[in-house]
């Protein structure tokens, strides 16, 4: 018998947290993955080299296979570069990637095209021209990697690195939760975990905006998320075997508690930041008055 789907995005779905507030936007902290379609087309364009390689002598076959390997590795580097760029733009405080993957991908693309256009047994300068044109077009199509830091004015490199490492580890824990809950093949449970992930990422962005909040949020980014991941893995194993209703109720109650505490802690961090700003403004006003400057 057909059953009505009653997930989170159904018309009658409730989108409120246990404490009565609206749940965090599920798209908060996420970005469109641009590292999918276009790099795949480049990979498909290199596939004919595998077909032509085996119709030549040993030297020609080696050159075509080498060209395909270089182009395939360039596509891989491009995908990784696009992912790193998306993560960079997603965060308000970020450093440029240590390895400029997109620039490296353009260089690999040029080398691969030069090899594919080369003439076995003789030097062909035209192949170099093809390589240079391919690399330039690659940079024009996909751009270069971010090369400068953003949002780090007035923040030491040590604090920025510490926050970046903590957030990266926390993101890995959230990804592990998402991978584990997929084993249940239950859309409602997956949507519930996504709602908690959105709430957690809201705290991540708050800490990135003010690295001084890391000390107050370190337990949430570490201990609590590790516990949530372990509980999710254990629950997914149990639910995938028996769909135990009691285990599901306990797990959803755990997510409710976690989401409530993460939301409360994030709001407290925002209040503390506002209080700190008010104090700085008041101190500045006192200094201006001592200098004989008063606002109209």
Q: pLDDT tens for residues 206-235?
A: 887 777 777 778 888 888 899 999 999 999
- 101 and 176 in a single domain? The answer is no
Q: Is 277 part of a structural domain of the chain?
A: yes
pLDDT at 187: 92
CA-nearest of 96, 108, 115, 222 to 160 is 96
pLDDT per residue over 115-129, tens digit each?
888 877 666 788 899
For the chain, the residue count is 296
Residue 1 lies in a domain: no
**Of 142, 175, 192, which residue sits at a domain end?**
142
Please indicate, yes or no, if residue 195 is contained in any of the structural domains: yes
* pLDDT bracket for residue 177 (50, 70, 90): very high
Of 89, 111, 142, which closes a domain? 142
Range of the domain at 267: 157-290
Percent of the chain with pLDDT over 90: 24
Residues 172 and 121 grouped into a single domain? no
Q: Clarify whether residues 86 and 192 are in a common domain.
A: no
Considering 142, 170, 199, which residue would you say is the last residue of a domain? 142
Residues 79, 173, single domain; the answer is no
- Domain identity same for 125 and 195: no
Task: Please tell me whether residues 281 and 172 are part of one structural domain.
Answer: yes
Average pLDDT of span 87-112: 84
**281 in the same domain as 163:** yes
Asked, for residue 78, whether it belongs to a domain, the answer is yes
Percent of the chain with pLDDT over 70: 74
Distance in angstroms (rounded) separating the CA atoms of residues 200 and 262: 6
Asked if the structure places residue 13 within a domain, the reply is no
pLDDT of residue 2: 46
Query: What is residue 221's DSSP assignment?
Result: I
pLDDT band at 196 (very low <50, low <70, confident <90, very high): very high
Whether residue 285 sits in one domain with residue 164 = yes
59-90 in b/e form (b: 16+ CB < 10 A) is ebeebbebbbebbbbbbebbbbbbbbbebbee
Question: For the residues 259-279, what does the mean pLDDT come to?
Answer: 72
Question: Are 194 and 261 in the same domain?
Answer: yes
Report if residue 204 sits inside a domain.
yes
- Residue 88's nearest CA partner among 40, 38, 31, 35 is 31
Q: Are 125 and 44 within one domain?
A: yes
Q: Is there a domain that residue 148 lies in?
A: no
Between residues 160 and 259, the one the model is more confident about: 259
Tell me: the pLDDT tens digits for 40-97?
788 888 888 888 878 778 888 888 889 899 999 999 999 988 888 887 787 766 677 8
Number of domains in the chain: 2
Mean model confidence pLDDT for the chain: 78
| 107 phi/psi in degrees, rounded to 5 | -65, -45
- Mean pLDDT is highest, among 60-69, 85-94, 152-161, 263-272, for 60-69
Residue 241 in any domain: the answer is yes
Q: Do 132 and 185 share a domain, yes or no?
A: no
Instruction: Tell me how far apart the alpha carbons of residues 35 and 80 are, in angstroms, rounded to a whole number.
Output: 7
190 and 246 in a single domain? The answer is yes
Q: How far is CA 151 from the centre of its chain?
A: 18
Residue 110 to residue 18: CA distance in whole angstroms: 55
């Amino acid at each position: 018998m057909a059953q009505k789907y009653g997930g989170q995005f159904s018309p009658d779905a409730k989108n409120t947290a246990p404490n009565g507030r609206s749940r965090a936007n599920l798209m908060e902290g996420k970005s469109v993955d641009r590292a999918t379609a276009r790099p795949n087309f480049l990979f498909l364009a290199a596939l004919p080299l595998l077909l032509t390689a085996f119709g030549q002598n040993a030297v020609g076959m080696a050159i075509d296979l080498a060209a395909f390997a270089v182009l395939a590795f360039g596509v891989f580097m491009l995908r990784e570069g696009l992912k790193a760029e998306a993560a960079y733009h997603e965060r308000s405080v970020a450093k440029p990637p240590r390895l400029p993957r997109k620039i490296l991908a353009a260089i690999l693309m040029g080398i691969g095209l030069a090899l594919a256009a080369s003439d076995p047994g003789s030097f062909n300068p035209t192949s170099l021209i093809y390589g240079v044109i391919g690399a330039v077009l690659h940079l024009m199509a996909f751009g270069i990697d971010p090369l400068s830091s953003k949002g780090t004015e007035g923040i030491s490199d040590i604090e920025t690195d510490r926050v970046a490492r903590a957030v990266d580890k926390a993101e890995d824990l959230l990804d592990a939760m998402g991978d584990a809950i997929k084993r249940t093949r239950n859309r409602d449970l997956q949507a519930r975990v996504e709602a908690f992930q959105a709430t957690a990422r809201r705290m991540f962005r708050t800490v990135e905006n003010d690295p001084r909040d890391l000390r107050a949020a370190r337990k949430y980014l570490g201990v609590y998320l590790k516990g949530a991941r372990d509980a999710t893995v254990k629950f997914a194993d149990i639910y995938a075997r028996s769909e135990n209703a009691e285990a599901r109720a306990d797990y959803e109650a755990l997510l409710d508690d976690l989401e409530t505490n993460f939301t409360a802690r994030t709001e407290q961090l925002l209040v503390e930041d506002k209080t700190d700003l008010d104090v700085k403004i008041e101190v500045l006003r006192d200094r201006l008055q001592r200098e004989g400057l008063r606002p109209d």
